[in-house]
Amino acid sequence: MTEDPLAPLDLAFWNIESTGHPMHLAALGVFAARSPSAAAHAADLLAARAAAVPGLRMRIRDVWQPPAP
C-alpha cells in the first residue's frame, strides 16, 4: 500500500464533502451481454486487472500534524 499524500484537488474534495453535500464522483457503464457467461467473464477481468492499479488499493487515514509555529 502506498504512503503518498492525496493530491491537492482530492484533498479539497475530501475536506468539503459532507452528508448534505456529497462531493464524490462516480461512473456507470451499461453493457449488453452476448452470452450468459459474459458478466462473469467481465467481473473476472476487472478483478484481475484492478490488482495492477495501485491507486485502487489506497486507503485514507488521518495524520496529525502540529500547527505551524
Could you report the per-residue pLDDT of 3-60, keeping only the tens digit for each?
Answer: 777 888 888 888 899 999 888 888 998 888 889 899 899 999 989 999 888 878 778 8
Query: Distance between the two ends of the chain, CA-based, in angstroms?
Result: 32
Contact partners, residue 56, CB within 8 Å, separation at least 6: 50
Q: Give the DSSP H/E element, type plus range, for residue 44.
A: helix 38-50
Q: Are 16 and 23 in contact (CB under 8 A)?
A: yes
This prediction has a pTM of: 0.46
